Structure 1
Amino acid sequence: MADKEYRYYKDNGKLMRLHIEQDDEPLDPRYDWDGQIGKMMCWHRDYRLGDYKDNDYNDNEDFLNNLIRENVEEKSIINYVKAKKASNGLELRYDRHEQMWQLWGTYYWFPLGTSREAKFDVIEEYESLDWLVDDMIEALPQKDKWYLLEKHANIIYLPLYLYDHSGITMSTGSFGDRWDSGQVGYIYTDKKTVLKTCGNANKRNWKKIAYADMQGEVEVYDQYLTGEVYGVITEEYNAEDDDWEEKDSCWGYFSDKWGDELVKNIALNFGVSETLYDSVEAVA
């Protein structure tokens, strides 16, 4: 939107005008706003994203492994693998002759652009089954870890993708560009947080509300990343000086609108409900 694109109106008989400008120093919704239900964990070599102050993990695997260790009981992880539910074929076998448990898995190699399966290579083997839990966590695919977190800890998530080309934009869905985009992390929450924070949430609908709220948080954060944050400036006409005097301004309006829709949206949020005109002559 061009600078100084004025809209005119009358307020209590006074001739007024307003215009919208981009907010060059917007508040960070991840740290300057209250009421967030999601925790946004991201990893990128060039940008500090999401809740970066709370992210001390080396990468997404390090984070996810720690999350499952802290929230899922070992017996639940063991039973999941023993039941052969892992999506990568991970399984436990007991060697009666050696009297020890063995953790087996399936690996996929890609030499020269082709793939072949190396059937059930031994990953680790110990005398005590409990000693294998860390290896199970490391070996489980991410989708299995999120499944265990949802089933046993009421923790749910959405993936976060970043498109980086002449600026950055974030979404919970893939951008479909293998060169300039990719997954950078997750936004996640838990049942306890949702029930405590969202007044309309209950034990039956908390997941539906959580997904919608997390989606909304990502959309607002994307507006922050893309500069879709604005301020409104109002001026009053001084007939004696034949000039305009600034009366008020307010900043920090997040909006994905454009053109007249953007102006009307921000004006209403600011409190200007009068009809807006494109020219002074139209007001009279």
Structure 2
Amino acid sequence: MTATAPHPPELPALLVEDQVRAALAEDLGRAGDVTTLATIGPDRQASAVLAAREPGVLAGLTLVQAAFRLIDPTIRFDTPLADGAPLSAGTVIATVSGRARALLSAERVALNYLMHLSGVASLTARFAAEIAHTHARITCTRKTLPGLRGVEKYAVRLGGGSNHRFGLDDAILIKDNHIAVAGGIAPALAAARAYAGHLLRIEIEVDTLDQFREALAAGAEVVLLDNMTPDQLAEAVALNAAHHGLIAGGDYVHAVKRTVLEASGNVALSTVRAIAESGVDFISTSKITMAAPTLDIGLDIAMA
């Protein structure tokens, strides 16, 4: 059976307007863009071209449009692309035209969002490409820049990744410190099940294969395998298959209900392929949000 392709992610302008407004206020300070006000007349018109200077994946157009629109609602923003589009060096992303003052004053905020989020999407795409021959998915974490979690996770999806928790309230993730305080894996899982509603997913983190066996015995639905080697991960996959009466390898992952396995720790472009080939379902890493380099994108202005 052919898997259904996911709908492309969408970032409604309403959800980012307050964030972009705060970024513009931070940049404009107490007196506005004094350089532009001092050197450019109020009626001067200009146009600008946003273009990629290196290959990557486009992300952040909604925020860019909001930056220009909030400075001057009459600014015209035209783009042939949509977020998620592949970029080559020289690809024209958009043209912007209108009052020159508005273009210059919004430029930095617009580029900051576009370069950062395109960088996140581009690095995610590189991770996703490394494991495309497996069933594993690359996923982000809660390690995001403060105030940017929603848009960074949006960029991860554009790059072909998936999202972990958005916050502390949308899933239960029992980590090592929770287990220590709760008195062990089985008591922690029992307490979580007693607390959770039927739609709240429960995941538990383990550091060793012995802990993983405990989690399986306690009926864990999702297990995070932390800082394990590919060989240990493969053994966990085999244990999982045996516990649920499955045959390891092949297409067992889609056969029946079983424990979902997530690998985390020591994830890099150089290691992610071996991790995925162990048979785990998800691979979580903070690198795609916290360590993504910005994508080089330029804005060049010409006088109208």
**Bigger-Rg structure (1/2):** 1
TM interval, shorter chain, is under 0.3
Higher relative strand content = 1
Q: Greater helix share, 1 or 2?
A: 2
TM-score by length of 2: 0.26
